[in-house]
Homo-oligomer: A and B are copies of this chain.
Amino acid sequence: MRPPPSTPPARTPSPRPSRAPTASGSSLFSRRTTPPGLSRLSTSASPSGGVVFSGRQSPGGHNVVWGLHDALKVYNPQSILYGFIGGTEGLFANKTLEITNDVLASYKNQGGFDLLGRSIDQIRSSKQVSAAMTTCQDLNLDGLVIVGGVTSNSDAAQLAETLVQKNCKTKVVGVPVSLNGDLKNQFVETTVGFDTVCKVNSQLISNVCLDAISAGKYYYFVRLMGRKASHVALECALQSHPNMLIMGEEVALSKLTLMEVINKICDGVQARAELGKHHGVLLIPEGLIESIPEMYALIQEISILHNNNVPVTEIPTQLSPWAAALFQFLPPFIRRELLLHQESDNSAQLSQIDTEQLLAHLVEAEMIKRTKEGRYKGKKFSSVCHFFGYQARGSLPSNFDCDYAYVLGHISLHMIAAGLTGYMATVANLKDPVHKWRCAAAPLTAMMSVRRHLRGPGAIPIGKPAIHPSPIDLKGKAYELLREKASSFLLDDFYRTPGGIQFEGPGSDAKPITLTIEDQDYMGDIEMLKLYLDK
């Protein structure tokens, strides 16, 4: 067990004792993954590495740096670890901070990315790539660790490729850190930060559930951060048992229109009213808006006009008749939000679109209509809207995220030492206790694919491979569990209260339900395969 955080863990100014990770590295690595090629590392006097926060801030990110630092110092006490100040912009401009134990002291097991900061999550344009390469050469880096999600790791693969082509010795390693949980594939079971963000959000959702049932008069419409995929929303639903979850992947699969989604919600409200219940809680993933076909078409048209540099004020006049009609139907606040500038991956700024208010607005209108037509006889429908996003992202990381991030940092060094470039640090068997975790490195290219028709705007032109956000697996066990419980969640107020993140005592080592419920064991499968092959 780890020593507890200082009480209360003040952020500044003096260094605080930190929870040391359970996996102190060496024992874990000496068993399984001591890389064969340690001798390959730079023969220069002091081998050096760099680390950059490229993606959005996610709880646990600091521990990647900590793990990397510890592993590097064990490898060679003379070696230097540079952190790039201000994220990718610091990388391009060669603005560094040397990472030392003193520098780390206040950031171990702490949330945020503020040790180094972050800026745009892009190393993509040829100018950006060449600036990054210049920095790697100027600092004579043996390795560069890029911390981030799908976008950052796609860029990491491209950078690795370029550096090899240009004979730059720097090895590029990606680390899967993203609150969205959408960097998920056979190698990557979950991302750093996902557990914490789901725990904080689940706590808040259970709080509004109890608020709703206490007063008995409101419907809470809660939108959750998580980009295109609904991983955060699914995990939170399994943690807190709200009444409804409108999952983007389901809507996309069934090709539900906006009014079909509204009617589905209204039917739920009506079924509850028949049981005398005039309160409830709905979860809405921020990606839902893009999963509704006609909204998707509209967003895509706006995106194309954006890319053609059409001024924002003129976009509405240049829409197709269909899209223009839908645009005019939407309330003004949504219209304004849809026209906002795009994300760094050219997709819509989902966090800025108040989908929960749009749905609440339309549900209220529909319930009034049903009342007038005599189809609904319950009390007046009232809603309260929430967006849970920024307030979870900066949380103190859970024990799980602390451990996972620290281990990934450790693995990264061993990958660089082994001469791997264009790989991602991964850990398999995460659902088991730390001593059963299996560390590995997976080639980024194995996670990449070329798609012509990516859902939503920002479709990447054909020919350019990328890691794509992985949607919820509608044949997976987590979704199956949700379907089983859906009707009970809707009608029985089976609310569950996970409470605040605990650092000690029962529950402190709980992991995401969506992680533990799956029987993923890629490394085990590989071993089985090997055994068969050997036979």
Q: Decide if A112 touches B213 in the complex (CB within 8 Å).
A: yes
Q: In chain A between 2 and 54, which residues have their CB closer than 8 angstroms to a CB of chain B?
A: 4-13, 53
Q: Which B residues touch A497, using CB under 8 A?
A: 8-11, 110-111, 396
Contacts known (A4-B505, A214-B117, A505-B505); A206 close to B394, Cβ less than 8 A: yes
- In the bound complex, how far is the Cα of B113 from the Cα of A442, in angstroms? 50
Give the interface size bracket for A toward B. Answer: 35 or more
Do A216 and B505 touch (CB < 8 A)? no
Q: Does A210 lie within 8 Å of B504, measured CB to CB?
A: no
Q: How far apart are A335's CB and chain B's nearest CB, in angstroms?
A: 15
Separation of A424 and B31 alpha carbons in the complex (Å)? 65
Q: Kindly report which residue of chain B lies nearest to residue A113, judged by CB atoms.
A: B214
Please report whether the interface of chain A is mostly helix, strand, loop or mixed according to DSSP: loop
> Which one, A342-350, A383-391, A426-434, A476-484, is touching chain B?
A383-391
Interface 9-mer from A181-189, A316-324, A457-465, A487-495: A487-495
Q: Does A421 have its Cβ within 8 Å of any Cβ on chain B?
A: no
Which single member of B494, B501, B504 contacts A13 (CB below 8 Å)?
B494
Residue in chain B with minimal CB distance to A112: B210
Interface readout for A321-357 with B: 1 if CB under 8 Å, 0 if not? 0000000000000000000000000000000000000
- Cβ-defined partner of A118 (8 Å) among B112, B215, B498: B215
Known: A216-B86, A494-B12. Contact between A112 and B499, CB under 8 A? no
Q: Are A496 and B203 in contact (CB under 8 A)?
A: no
Does A507 count as interface, using CB distance less than 8 angstroms?
A: yes
Is the beta-carbon distance between A393 and B211 smaller than 8 angstroms? yes
A7 touches B117 (CB 8 A): no
12 A-B pairs in the complex with CB atoms less than 8 angstroms apart: A9-B498, A11-B206, A11-B209, A57-B211, A113-B215, A114-B210, A117-B215, A204-B391, A207-B394, A214-B394, A500-B501, A504-B504
